[in-house]
Amino acid sequence: MQDFAQSFYLAFQLVASANPDLVEIVLLSLKVSLSAVFLSVLIGLPLGAAIGVARFPGRNAVIVLVNSLMGLPPVVVGLLVYLALSNAGPFGWMRLLYSPAAMIIAQTVLITPIVAALTREIVEQLNDEYAEYFRSLCLPRHRALAAYLWDARFNLLTVGLAGFGRAVAEVGAVIVVGGNIDHLTRVMTTAIALETSKGDLALALALGLVLMVIALSVNALVMMMRGTATRTAYA
């Protein structure tokens, strides 16, 4: 019990004094996860929107596939990306394994399906509602898509936040492809796992605190956005 209180005390101290190791780990975490969100929005948003409005044979199968990919276990994603990036793999020549780039790739693979699936649902709903009016206007396809994305902007922002929340909190993918190398690929979740097993509970707790604050802020932001959207009836 003494240990426990002691660890908490030390953890708060680490956070309060902005311990350089801690800050480095937090910053790398944010860098990796934000980059992954950026990339998955770049890929997943147009992809999801396209599936949402297009009608083609096999569409339902594609939707089922994307929806199931949402639930991919992070370690499995890590393993697949590891295989692709390892020396024997197709992208081995890029020598990316155990680098932040590999971690960004793994998280991008992990959350792109989430962004695509949620975007698909949002855009499809709008399409069901707007399609006949747009047909009446003879609206060109690209303008219709732009209108969907614009009118769904609040909901799409929350999709990005959901992706970020998942990326920053996962440990399986980054530990497999990043290797949790000190000062190079150590992020919050992998550091927590390691420090806990080493018995350095203070650093683990400090990182856990930061992670929780980030998760809470993301959720608070989502709630606020929902609120704004419904208040202004733009949602």
Partner 1 sequence: MANLLPLVVRDLGYAVRDTVLLRDVNFTVKSPGVTVVMGPNGAGKSLLLRLLHGLLAPSRGSVTWGGAPPDDAVRRRQAMMAQRPVLLRRSVRANMDFVLSLREIEDRRGTCDALLERVGLLPFAARPARRLSGGEQQRLALARALAQGPEVLFMDEPASSLDPASTATIESVVRELKHAGTKVVLVTHDAAQARRLAEDVVFLHRGTLTEQASAERFFERPSSEAARQYLAGGLVI
For binding to partner 1 (CB under 8 A), which residues are involved? 129-130, 132-133, 135-139, 147, 151, 232-235
Q: How far is the CB of 157 from partner 1 (least distance, A)?
A: 14
Looking at the Cβ atoms of 27 and 137, the one nearer to partner 1 is 137
CB of 154 to partner 1, least distance (A): 9
Least distance from C-beta 138 to partner 1, angstroms? Answer: 5
Residue 82 vs 148, nearer CB to partner 1: 148
Of 124 and 151, CB closest to partner 1? 151
What is the phi-psi region of residue 95: left when phi exceeds 0, alpha when psi lies from -120 to 50, beta otherwise?
Answer: left
User: How near is the Cβ of 200 to partner 1 at its closest, in Å?
Assistant: 51
> Is the CB of 148 or the CB of 164 nearer to partner 1?
148
Q: Which is nearer to partner 1, 119 or 180 (CB)?
A: 119
Which residues does 179 contact at the CB level (< 8 Å), separation at least 6? 97, 98, 185
95 versus 153: smaller Cβ distance to partner 1: 153
Question: In the bound complex, what is the minimum distance in angstroms from residue 45's beta carbon to partner 1?
Answer: 18
Three-state secondary structure string covering the chain: CHHHHHHHHHHHHHHHCCCHHHHHHHHHHHHHHHHHHHHHHHHHHHHHHHHHHCCCCCHHHHHHHHHHHCCCCHHHHHHHHHHHHCCCCCCHHHCCCCCHHHHHHHHHHHHHHHHHHHHHHHHHHHHHHHHHHHHHHCCCHHHHHHHHHHHCHHHHHHHHHHHHHHHHHCCHHHHHHHCCCCCCCCCHHHHHHHHHHHCCHHHHHHHHHHHHHHHHHHHHHHHHHHHHHHHCCCC
Nearest approach, Cβ of 229 to partner 1 (angstroms)?
9
